[in-house]
Chain A
Amino acid sequence: MRAENYQARHQPPSHEYELNFGPNHPGIEGNYALKVRLHGDIVTHAKADGGYLHRGFEKLMEQRLWIQNIALVPRICVPDPAPMELAYSTAVETLCGLDIPVRAQWLRVLQMELSRIAAHLFTFGGHAATTGMYNTMFWGVSDRDLVLDLFEELTGGRVYHIYNIPGGVRRDVTEGFLGRVAQFLDYLESRLPDYDNLFFTNQVFVTRAKSVGVLSPQQALELGVTGPNLRACGLAFDVRRDDPYLVYDQLEFDIPVEQAGDAWARTLVRRAELKESIRILRQVIERLPGIPGPIRAPIPNPLAWNVPAGEYYARVESSKGELSWYVVSNGGAKPWRTHIRGPSAMHAVQVLETLATGARLEDVAQIMFSLDACPPEVDR
């Protein structure tokens, strides 16, 4: 918490006043908070406060063996933990010069896209709730639970999969798992018209979201916006396509783009990505059975594993934007330094502060959810 945010100030006798927006606010996730200055119900100034949620991941990682960090990294972003595992593992693998077996790469794609679907369903629910449409939230959360069931079966954990380790993945798919994924995809696809009626084309939502929190392409580039938020400004950049990792270069998918740059456009991009993820997963289901193992490259005893000295910046496309791990090894058994370049930090701080300014108070929560920022990752 920043002390200066919470000091009483002399309030001028006017319509201007300050409001603590969160941390205990229904439209705010986690410990995150905003300090907003209002003129009437128009925000004239907004100051983001990441809050004390986790704090110190990067430092903590320096105290742990390379392998132990795989249990730590997913906790940085609760709704979409899988890309955290992948980016960290990729950095370590690159420093070690490990070749990741092809089957492991496909299994990682399976996990990444399922995680993207789960994260988007969660976000739709949250976004809908900020506009008073709680039905969509119930639907989104309960449909996400079906993905969590699949994760539980594949990885042994519903939320924190701890499925990737440097070298590959820990387990192969279970008997019949791909069939159950296919069933879920069919189910989700059949639900989309309902979601459209309930939320995406619902005039209550469209009217609320249109022209709110508008981000120009210029602003987006200046602020370092990535992911669906960037693509909603008409800029088609996606790490999966523009700097392919895993086997994304062998998969067919489109990069959905919207032009308006407002809260509605951002939501529509995510809605379209849901379809693309379903498309990718169907290709995985079709091709994975024909790809032989193993699922992990041999790695040294984790208790005596020195990663060669060097540094690497590994980036992946998470549901929230470009997620990167910068990992430095001095040749020792633990990272010398790690740093996360997560999408949420700038989306929830610089971008949100910019977009909230000038917005109406009731739209602030909506703007935040339309940016899909993940507070645990802001203050990691």
Chain B
Amino acid sequence: MSDIAYKDKGSILNPLRALAFFGRKPITEKLEPRPASERYRGFHVNNWQKCVGCSTCQKVCDNAAITMVEVPNLPNDPIKGIRNLRPAIDYGRCCWCALCVDLCPTGSISLSREYVHTCVDAELDSYFVLPDSSGIHNMSFPLGWTKEADNDLVDHVRQDMAELEPSARIGNFAEMVAGYTKQQAILEASRCVQCGMCHDACPTQMNAPEYIRAIWMDDLEEAVRQIYRTNPFSHTCGRVCTHRCEDACSVGHRGEPIAIRWLKRYAMDHVAPERIKQIAAEGLSTARSGRRVAIVGAGPAGMTAAFDLVKAGHAVTVFEALARAGGMTRYGIPDYRLPGASLDQDIEVITHLGVEVRYDTRIGRDVDMAGLRDGYDAVLLAIGLQYGRSTRIPGSEAPGVHRAVDLLRDIVAGVKLDVPHRAVVIGGGNVAMDIARSLARLQMIQHGKVGITVTAVQPEGHFPADLEEIKEALEEGIEILAARGPQKVVLENGQVSALETAKVLALFDAQGRFAPTYDLQDTQIHPGAWVIEAIGQMSDTDTILGMQLTEELAWSRGRLQLDAEGRASLPWLWAAGDMANGPDVVHAVADGHRVAASIGRHLMTMGEKS
């Protein structure tokens, strides 16, 4: 209830109370600019060193006040996820809500404590500003509203991927990663800010923002459709892709990048195989061109090119030396990372479109290149790098010294291997980890105990292998030694008994070439009845091409000379995949698309057949 004495009539003397004001100190407001408060939402400032041009600010802006403007002299590197775009603000539209600050993935944009701007009519465009660190008037006003933990609206934490415990996975080749559930996938997809950095970084320019959006909307068929626009090896890439996309992801600057690879796997695993085939066949040309293309090698590059060319209406025959398609993805990647059944699904989608694959057909043995040249309108070589390189250290010719790719191929092909109790792997890349982990599983099955040592020349933290591969190998009880260079294979009675390594002093010489130097005083003996070399691969182009063709073709530093489209010096021959460009599945797929486009153009411009 009101506490004032309003019911009183009041005194006639009331006005005299005003006299009391004469005794009070007058309040004087100073006529000078008033500094705004600490978290004031004034004009924008943007730290251009932090900003990557992802345009999330533009997407969340209420009033379409933000335009991304190209700033030519800034870095523009899609692989690192950096664009030379920066937000420009139209202060005729901005409402200073600071959502751009709250949702900025890098934390580059802030609002300042500057709040006065005026101009004459002729300068109305001065309200359109490209803010940098110095703000609207190049005056150093302090920062106002900035991103802090309280107001950060970026979802930094990735959905956990369930995987088998080390103890459960070491005794078998079962796939160790479980895949996302529907709820996890939708939550993970919802973290995406749709900046498209992933699209730019992917060798195949995968429409990742689109398929992530489709997964978020639970429209998995649309997700598959988007995925198949650029990648027919989607089951495979959903599992073993080197995910450049995630390295470029703008959310990854301050949190964990979106699990773009796992989301692809989720979409592929949750649409029926028959439906995937139908979706992949959308756009299949009903008119046949009458042109025939021979592809040598049924790996990702060859099969991707086959996919594109058969969809364009050409007849495609793939010649594969081994019993099954997939190339290195089948015979190089162990089952616990990529189950054969998943790869089979990718291959079936392609063969379903009408690609003919001739298995167990080796060029140079069963068919020769001259036959392909004469029987087909174009020939694509996509033979990969099937042969392991040797260290050529003393003793490396001994029978207990193996190449990693040979062993991996044998394991997939089901060859029974008698793995010794101890083995040593040379190499620090993914192939080294694959063979180490595969042998560890076989040891567990055969002996109940893991005894693998991996020696890499690279220092700790600089291994070419993926971090997660190294982490998982360590979890499985594999010993990994950094900066150890192989010196000789120790033999006892002609049998391998150990590997001797020396400490690596430097990997590169003054010119930056690979030329390791060793401290020969610091040597170690790693016992093992097998030594496995996993230091790189090469191809056997010569035996496939034959003497005559090898001489006819132009070569560059021992490799087939190719133009920008992957075409060799003879007009009917192209090459793609690992043998032309490294180093992984997704690059092979991108390469397959590239040469398929080139071959397609060639076929369309050929004269009538005589």
Chains A and B belong together in one complex: yes
Interface positions of A (Cβ within 8 A of B): 64-65, 67-68, 70-72, 149, 152-153, 155-157, 160, 162, 170-172, 174, 196-197, 200-203, 206, 254, 256-258, 268-269, 271-272, 275, 294-296, 299-305
Task: Give CA–CA (A203, B15) in the complex, Å.
Answer: 10
Binds A, one of B96-104, B304-312, B520-528, B534-542: B96-104
In the complex, 27 of the A-B residue pairs with CB atoms within 8 angstroms, ordered by the A residue number, are A64-B62, A65-B60, A68-B62, A70-B97, A71-B95, A71-B99, A152-B36, A152-B37, A155-B39, A156-B98, A157-B96, A160-B97, A162-B41, A171-B148, A171-B150, A197-B17, A201-B8, A256-B2, A258-B2, A268-B4, A269-B2, A299-B153, A302-B60, A303-B193, A304-B191, A304-B213, A305-B190
Is B8's CB under 8 angstroms from A303's CB?
Answer: no
Are A171 and B39 also in contact (CB < 8 A) when A304-B216, A305-B190 are?
Answer: yes
Question: Would you give the shortest CB distance from A323 to chain B, in whole angstroms?
Answer: 21
Interface assignment of B6: CB less than 8 Å from any CB of chain A = yes
Please report the total number of B residues contacting A with Cβ < 8 Å.
47
Interface positions of B (Cβ within 8 A of A): 1-6, 8-10, 14, 17-18, 36-41, 56, 59-60, 62, 95-99, 102-103, 111, 144-145, 148, 150-151, 153-155, 187, 189-194, 213, 216
Report B-chain residues with C-beta under 8 Å of the C-beta of A149.
Answer: 37
Report A-chain residues with C-beta under 8 Å of the C-beta of B102.
Answer: 170
Is B39's CB under 8 angstroms from A153's CB?
Answer: yes
Is A272's CB under 8 angstroms from B36's CB?
Answer: no
Task: Give CA–CA (A272, B3) in the complex, Å.
Answer: 7
Question: Would you give the shortest CB distance from B263 to chain A, in whole angstroms?
Answer: 13
Residue of B nearest to A273 (CB): B2
Is B39's CB under 8 angstroms from A174's CB?
Answer: yes
Report B-chain residues with C-beta under 8 Å of the C-beta of A295.
Answer: 150
Is A300's CB under 8 angstroms from B4's CB?
Answer: no
The residue in A172, A197, A254, A294 that gathers the most chain B C-beta atoms within 10 A of its C-beta is: A197
Report A-chain residues with C-beta under 8 Å of the C-beta of B155.
Answer: 300-301
- Dominant secondary structure at the B interface: loop
Task: Give CA–CA (A68, B66) in the complex, Å.
Answer: 14
Question: Would you give the shortest CB distance from A263 to chain B, in whole angstroms?
Answer: 13
Are A72 and B62 also in contact (CB < 8 A) when A156-B145, A172-B150 are?
Answer: yes
Report A-chain residues with C-beta under 8 Å of the C-beta of B62.
Answer: 64, 68, 71-72
Is B2's CB under 8 angstroms from A171's CB?
Answer: no
Question: Would you give the shortest CB distance from B301 to chain A, in whole angstroms?
Answer: 35
4 tightest Cβ-Cβ pairs between the two chains A and B: A71-B97, A304-B190, A272-B2, A156-B41
The residue in B3, B5, B187 that gathers the most chain A C-beta atoms within 10 A of its C-beta is: B3
Report B-chain residues with C-beta under 8 Å of the C-beta of A153.
Answer: 37-39
Residue of B nearest to A295 (CB): B150
The residue in A72, A153, A196, A304 that gathers the most chain B C-beta atoms within 10 A of its C-beta is: A304
Residue of A nearest to B6 (CB): A201
Task: Give CA–CA (A68, B61) in the complex, Å.
Answer: 7
Report A-chain residues with C-beta under 8 Å of the C-beta of B194.
Answer: 303-304
Is B189's CB under 8 angstroms from A170's CB?
Answer: no
Question: Would you give the shortest CB distance from A161 to chain B, in whole angstroms?
Answer: 10
Task: Give CA–CA (A17, B133) in the complex, Å.
Answer: 62
Task: Give CA–CA (A306, B41) in the complex, Å.
Answer: 28
Is A304's CB under 8 angstroms from B36's CB?
Answer: no
Residue of B nearest to A268 (CB): B2
The residue in B2, B17, B41, B213 that gathers the most chain A C-beta atoms within 10 A of its C-beta is: B2
Is B144's CB under 8 angstroms from A268's CB?
Answer: no
Residue of B nearest to A67 (CB): B99
Question: Would you give the shortest CB distance from A273 to chain B, in whole angstroms?
Answer: 10
Is A156's CB under 8 angstroms from B111's CB?
Answer: yes
Task: Give CA–CA (A196, B3) in the complex, Å.
Answer: 10
Is A302's CB under 8 angstroms from B103's CB?
Answer: yes
